[in-house]
Structure 1
Amino acid sequence: MEPLRVLELYSGIGGMHQALRESCIPAQVVAAIDVNTVANEVYAYNFPHTQLLAKTIEVLKEFPKLESEHPEKNTIVAENKIERKKIDPNICFDNGRQCSGKEAILFKLETIEEIDRKHQQDSDLSVQMLKDFLEDDIDTNQYFLPPKSLLRYALLLDIVKPTCRRSTCFTKGYGSYIEGTGSVLQTSEDVQIESVYKSLTNLSQEEKITELSMLKLRYFTPKEIANLLGFPPDFGFPEKITVKQRYRLLGNSLNVHVVAKLIKILYE
């Protein structure tokens, strides 16, 4: 069977390309297109043999050579969403039940006991623990949350341990913003999180920082997030790409494993 000839639009760092590889479908990415020059550097670093154009999709009219003897074998792959919906930012949902206003705030600031109870529900043994995705022998000092962030966002953090089997979605704001951008890792596993939070009552700011610091909370590294998204061990970044840029690029990417399965289903 003749391999599919794939044109990858909005190629980013190559999540679609990697998913196509993982799907094991016979295909060739004949070209990739993206206007993000930083993303293109990462793409070229990992897929050096793929033609890459830093242009908008209007360049499609310049691709008559993409046509093969079997047009049905030509495929366009794009990461962008094709459906948009508006969501009221003032409304949240509690197990399908709509709530708003003061009730939404109370729901958001749930007790630390409730957070810990949810963490204990990570019991699906078919799902790998987070520790399987962590880097070994790295300098984590640059990834620890600063005292100011600990104090200001203590009740908004989604805290996970290496033994947990889930995390929240990582967005492009990870590392720069706290709320809703991704989980943070508790590296001091022998410290009980509920005890720390219970002790914060009536403490001074300095004392609160001291207590929260006992948890040794840090951000996941870019490599660890790439691992969680299903990128292979040999996927990397050029040295000149900063940590902040790596977070942004990964937050705009996709889960390779999920997309690989979807591609396979579409192909079949």
Structure 2
Amino acid sequence: MGPVRVLELYSGIGGMHQALTESCISAEVVAAVDVNTVANEVYKHNFPSTPLWAKTIEGITLTELNRLSFDMILMSPPCQPFTRIGLQGDVSDPRTNSFLYILDILPRLQRLPKYILLENVKGFETSSARDKLVETLKKCGFKYQEFLLSPTCLGIPNSRLRYFLIAKLQSELFSFQTPGQILENFPDQEPKASVKHRVAAGLEKESCFMPPKEEYIDPNSGSDGGSGQCSQKEAFVFKLETAKEMEKKWNQDSNLSIQMLKDFLEEDGEEMSQYFLPPKALLRYAFLLDIVTPSCRRSTCFTKGYSHYVEGTGSVLQTAEDVQLQSVFKSIEMLSEEEKLMKLSTLKLRYFTPREVANLHGFPPEFGFPDKITMKQRYRLLGNSLNVRVVAKLISLLTG
């Protein structure tokens, strides 16, 4: 039996291809399809022997697809119609047309593929597009399982919650299949337990829980909200956030099953100076930044706007680990602009480099970018990509 013949749709920079390699199954990508010329340059740089079709998916005929005789489809359709911060146009959004074309042509193939894997944003699971996908899979005789997974479940300190569906063409169910349920962990992992339950089981040290209230806390008050559970230092909030958000961060950093960020960072050098936040960004966004240190076990999702936009696009790294956030932010609002900047600068805040973001996404060291791809383009492409290790594990489950 020869290698699995794979059709990679919406191939981007090749995250699915890299995951296929990491899964260690015998496979060959017979065609990768994407219209993004910049992404295609990166794909060709890393996978030069793979046939790359720079065309729209709607432009691929049934005859061309039949000629490929593929066994597996890997795809990550455009997420904008389903993202929570978008218009959520769903199937009425023109960007879903190519996906609807795939669903239309799938039942008409001479030979159905044995395996399908799809990745998208959280929100896809409640969309009409998902309903059409499931309807088509059932019509064609596929068994499927859905997931909502983040890299943290594999010990990677980066939150990137995504929807996944795996489907295979055979009569028996997956050994782990739970019809009608969306799994939030891999089937070989324990179900998620609350930190309180883990403390009771002796698996974690008891952490200092924040007061369970939703209102925003004054960053200069140093108050613990009257709960009496935390010291003033522990309760100090260095930016505007809810108690629930504070508790979540504390729990993430207390989870010893997740690696520290320092395992994913590049060595410091002169070239790192280009990644430090400029004074204007420090002054304007200081209280909105998600600041992490190398010893943290968490980081927020890196989006395609990372480094171009500051707010909500990903964490920033505090490289001066000996400086306490509390000492920098306490009563900072009382200072002049010059004094504020002086204090904020002591934290030595910088963006994660594209290589570090790629590391957190599971791309191996040998995966690179052509020199002509700009810094902004690298961040944008990585923000549109996926976590290689999560997909690799799903491919192993699918074909196992």
TM-score bracket relative to the smaller structure: 0.7 to 0.9
Q: Distance in 1 between matches of 2:80 and 2:377?
A: 27
Matching of residues 246-261 of structure 1 within 5 Å: 246-261=378-393
Aligned to 2:12: 12
**1:16-62 Cα distance to aligned partner (Å, 9 max, x none):** 00111111222110110100000000000000110111111124313
Aligned to 1:65: 67
Q: State the Cα RMSD in Å.
A: 2.7
Q: Distance in 1 between matches of 2:60 and 2:48?
A: 21
How has the CA–CA distance of structure 1 residues 229 and 65 changed in structure 2, closer, same or farther, with 3 Å as cutoff?
A: same
Aligned to 2:216: 106
Deviation at 1:136, TM superposition (A): 1.7
Q: Which amino acid aligns with 2:15?
A: G
Q: Distance in 2 between matches of 1:88 and 1:242?
A: 27
Q: Distance in 1 between matches of 2:12 and 2:82?
A: 23
Deviation at 1:266, TM superposition (A): 2.0
Deviation at 1:80, TM superposition (A): 2.0
Matching of residues 182-221 of structure 1 within 5 Å: 182-221=314-353
Contact 2:218 2:237 in 1 (8 A): no
Q: Distance in 2 between matches of 1:108 and 1:253?
A: 37
Aligned to 2:77: 80
Structure with bigger gyration radius? 2
1:262 paired to 2:367: no
Q: How many positions carry a matched residue from both structures?
A: 251
Q: Which amino acid aligns with 1:111?
A: V
Q: Distance in 1 between matches of 2:373 and 2:286?
A: 30
How has the CA–CA distance of structure 1 residues 83 and 208 changed in structure 2, closer, same or farther, with 3 Å as cutoff?
A: closer
Q: Distance in 2 between matches of 1:83 and 1:216?
A: 34
How has the CA–CA distance of structure 1 residues 16 and 86 changed in structure 2, closer, same or farther, with 3 Å as cutoff?
A: closer
Of residues 281, 294, 304 in structure 2, which corresponds to 1:162? Answer: 294
Deviation at 1:137, TM superposition (A): 4.6
Aligned to 2:2: 2
1:128 paired to 2:259: yes
Deviation at 1:124, TM superposition (A): 2.6
How has the CA–CA distance of structure 1 residues 63 and 168 changed in structure 2, closer, same or farther, with 3 Å as cutoff?
A: same
Q: Distance in 2 between matches of 1:84 and 1:107?
A: 34
SS of residue in 1 equivalent to 2:287: coil
Between stretches 125-134 and 111-120, larger displacement belongs to 111-120
Q: Which amino acid aligns with 1:66?
A: L
* TM-score, with length taken from structure 2: 0.58
Of residues 308, 313, 316 in structure 2, which corresponds to 1:181? Answer: 313
Q: Distance in 2 between matches of 1:108 and 1:255?
A: 36
Deviation at 1:126, TM superposition (A): 2.8
SS of residue in 2 equivalent to 1:189: coil
**Among the aligned pairs, what percent are the same residue?**
64
* TM-score, with length taken from structure 1: 0.85
Q: Distance in 2 between matches of 1:174 and 1:108?
A: 27
Contact 1:6 1:75 in 2 (8 A): yes
Deviation at 1:252, TM superposition (A): 0.1
**1:151-175 Cα distance to aligned partner (Å, 9 max, x none):** 1111110000011111000000000
How has the CA–CA distance of structure 1 residues 60 and 74 changed in structure 2, closer, same or farther, with 3 Å as cutoff?
A: farther
How has the CA–CA distance of structure 1 residues 87 and 231 changed in structure 2, closer, same or farther, with 3 Å as cutoff?
A: closer
Q: Distance in 1 between matches of 2:26 and 2:277?
A: 45
| Relative contact order higher in (CA < 8 Å, ≥ 6 apart) | 1
Q: Distance in 2 between matches of 1:200 and 1:182?
A: 23
